[in-house]
């Protein structure tokens, strides 16, 4: 990973240069586009601060990045400048972060991780139907019990049967025996093709699925599959904190990856990123979008070009070195929290390369959980509460939480001792 850190001035110049390559609603002869700049009664296009605000200027200009701009061939010329920047953003994510070879991938900035995960399932369902002449009931969507809810949503939307395998209740590791059992049952039922999700990392625990154990089993059972990595949370931290990871495109078994800019990257919501190996995204080409030059290959269709610009800006504000330092700083703070929990004999789960700590609910009172906005695994009957050490989580907040937790545990132990 070696993309450069740019100065604020250079970032501003690059964005305004890209905007200058787009057609301008204010000065060009644009009659056929069902869109325009943002409403000037609310968004002042002549506000003096805009000249120093490249993201806000892009937002006001309102470029539409409909389609997939990494594909060869004709593109919409109207917003070509900012689309070039999205293409560079996809390059950084695919090549620099997830080890893809140049020219071996496609991708786009989606509305979020949910869309990107559904897009992957859509691509592979259509691939199996077209290339293997598969029937819907011969295709299975396979994911763990800790996977994001976007996968049952994808199964529902795409009429795919979801098969959910277990994880160890303490370590959150894949239950390989259960996975093997579920695979054999599905094969016996007539399933021939599998869309497999691997988590990097899970939303509740920050756990990372063992990709090698999963693919080894798939190969042992001679299963035909396409493998997707849901890195919506871990995609902008794990590659910077874990050396020698196989959760990337250097692994030949990986077909696609989801990452989210609006989590670790602190980008606005609507900055999910879908990455997929070359020659796969055409399976979801919407031919009926004939008025779109280059057609549409995305689930959302029209989408804001400003979101792509924002993610590009954030990555270049830090550079690969600066971003690595920032992620390790979060890890250090998370490790410090875990040391304090160890001293209190509090049971929790934490993956060492990630910044999520999930504590067993028996140690957390409902009042403490509410006061510090801890998120339960289940609001009706919580068994775990999670803490996510994000950039806004200052050490003082963590210290305050630990002090109050310690006080509650001490009072509980004194009460129990008196009862005994």
Query: Which pLDDT value is given to residue 420?
Result: 55
Assign a CATH topology to domain 64-314.
Answer: 3.40.640
Asked whether this chain's domains 64-314 and 319-419 adopt the same fold, the reply is no
pLDDT bucket at 418, cuts 50 / 70 / 90: low
What kind and span of H or E run contains 44? Answer: none
Structure tokens given for 384: 């775990």
State pLDDT tens for residues 200-252: 999 999 999 999 999 999 999 999 999 999 999 999 999 999 999 999 999 99
Peptide bond before residue 201 is cis, with ω within 30 degrees of 0? yes
The CATH number fitting domain 319-419, selected from 3.90.1150.10, 1.10.10.10, 3.20.20.60, 3.40.50.720:
3.90.1150.10
State pLDDT tens for residues 5-19: 999 999 999 999 999
Q: Distances from the Cα of 279 to the Cαs of 22, 72, 229, 256, in angstroms?
A: 28, 11, 18, 12
Query: Which pLDDT value is given to residue 290?
Result: 85
| Segments making up each domain of the chain, as ranges | 8-60, 64-314, 319-419
Query: Which pLDDT value is given to residue 182?
Result: 98
Nearest one of 269, 247, 265, 264 to 256, comparing CA atoms: 247
Nearest one of 137, 140, 133, 135 to 226, comparing CA atoms: 140
Nearest one of 295, 388, 358, 329 to 169, comparing CA atoms: 358
Region 187-201: mean pLDDT is 97
């Amino acid at each position: 990973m070696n993309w450069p850190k740019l100065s604020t001035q250079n970032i501003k110049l690059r964005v305004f240069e890209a905007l200058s390559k787009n057609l301008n609603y204010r000065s060009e002869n644009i009659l056929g586009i069902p869109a325009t700049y943002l409403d000037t009664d609310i968004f002042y296009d002549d506000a003096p601060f805009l000249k120093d605000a490249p993201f806000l200027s892009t937002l006001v200009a309102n470029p539409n990045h409909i389609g997939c701009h990494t594909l060869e061939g004709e593109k919409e010329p109207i917003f070509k400048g900012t689309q070039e920047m999205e293409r560079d953003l996809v390059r950084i994510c695919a090549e620099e972060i997830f080890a893809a070879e140049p020219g071996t991938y496609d991708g786009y900035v989606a509305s979020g991780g949910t869309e990107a995960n559904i897009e992957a399932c859509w691509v592979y369902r259509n691939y199996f139907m077209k290339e293997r002449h598969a029937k819907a009931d011969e295709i299975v969507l396979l994911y763990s019990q800790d996977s994001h809810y976007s996968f049952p949503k994808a199964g529902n939307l795409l009429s795919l049967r979801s098969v959910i395998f277990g994880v160890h209740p303490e370590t959150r590791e894949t239950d390989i025996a259960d996975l093997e059992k579920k695979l054999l049952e599905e094969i016996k039922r007539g399933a021939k093709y599998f869309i497999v999700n691997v988590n990097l990392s899970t939303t509740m625990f920050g756990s990372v699925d063992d990709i090698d154990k999963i693919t080894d089993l798939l190969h042992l059972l001679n299963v035909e599959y396409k493998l997707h990595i849901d890195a919506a949370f871990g995609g902008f931290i794990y590659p910077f904190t874990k050396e020698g990871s196989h959760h990337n495109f250097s692994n030949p078994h990986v077909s696609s990856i989801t990452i989210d800019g609006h989590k670790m990257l602190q980008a606005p919501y609507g900055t999910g990123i879908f990455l997929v190996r070359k020659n796969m995204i055409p399976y979801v080409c919407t031919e009926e979008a004939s008025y779109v030059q280059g057609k549409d290959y995305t689930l959302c269709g029209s989408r804001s070009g400003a979101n792509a610009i924002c993610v590009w800006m954030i990555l270049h504000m830090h550079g690969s070195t600066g971003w690595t330092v920032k992620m390790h700083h979060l890890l250090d703070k998370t490790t410090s929290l875990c040391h304090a929990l160890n001293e209190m004999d509090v049971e929790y789960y934490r993956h060492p390369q990630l910044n999520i700590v999930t504590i067993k609910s028996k140690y957390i009172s409902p009042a403490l959980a509410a006061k510090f906005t801890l998120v339960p695994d289940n609001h009706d009957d919580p068994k775990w509460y999670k803490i996510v050490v994000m950039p806004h989580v200052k050490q003082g907040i963590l210290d305050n939480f630990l002090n109050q937790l310690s006080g509650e545990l001490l009072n509980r132990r004194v009460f129990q001792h008196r009862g005994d």
